[in-house]
Amino acid sequence: MIFLQSSAPSGFGFRLLEWDRRLFGLINQQWHQSWLDQLAPFLRESNTWIPFYIFIFLFIVINFRKQAIWWIVSFLITAGVSDIISSHLVKNLVFRLRPCREPDLADQVRFLVSYCPTSSSFVSSHAANHFAMAAFLYFTLGRFNKWWWLAFVWAFSIAYSQVYVGVHYPIDVMCGAVLGYWIGFGTAWFFNNKIGMLSLAQDNRAT
């Protein structure tokens, strides 16, 4: 297992982790607003987005009818693959203390949620999973409506909230986002090229 810590020997890795801690300090301790203190914990909660997922599934069923089941299955596989790779593969290979458990930061971190996980901070599974879903949404639905790029804004807001509330460093969410993006791109490519591109039901339009 690889351990990431800023007290490692000097070099590029040391400077990168020091930069990461400084950026964390800016986001968590300086760039804060009272309204964001209330919003950030809400954004990162899974239950918050249940209505959004219901909307997506209804959108797919209404607009794509018989093709909907394969899209939904592929979407769920995308989220599942991302979670397995980020939570059970990467976290088992690379361990990093979360900022909310870092002794050197104990008196500095603004911790805004009720529980600090004991699992590795690297990578952020929240970032990986939501960027994977965002990429899949964009690369399968973007040709029907340009506004699906906003899925990346949705994923970014969740990833940023992870740093803001004190449970991840910026590099954790950046790497998670990159990992998730390529997973979502890959499953979208497989869906579009091997299962079949979506086509609108004849009597419906994608909105």
Q: pTM (2 decimals)?
A: 0.91
Distance CA 194, CA 202 (A): 22
Q: For residue 12, is it within any domain?
A: no
Q: Could you give the 3-state DSSP secondary structure of residue 42?
A: helix
Inter-residue contact 204 to 59 (CB < 8 Å): no
Mean pLDDT of the region 67-76: 93
Residue span of the structural domain in which 169 resides = 65-199
Mean pLDDT of the region 51-79: 93
Which amino acid is located at 167 in the chain? V
What per-residue confidence (pLDDT) applies to 203?
45
DSSP symbol at 148: G
What per-residue confidence (pLDDT) applies to 205?
47
Nearest to 32 by CA among 155, 163, 153: 163
Lowest-pLDDT range of 23-32, 56-65, 193-202: 193-202
Q: For residue 49, is it within any domain?
A: no
Q: List pLDDT tens digits, range 83-100.
A: 999 999 999 999 999 999
Q: For residue 41, is it within any domain?
A: no
Q: For residue 2, is it within any domain?
A: no
Q: For residue 177, is it within any domain?
A: yes
The count of structural domains within the chain is 1
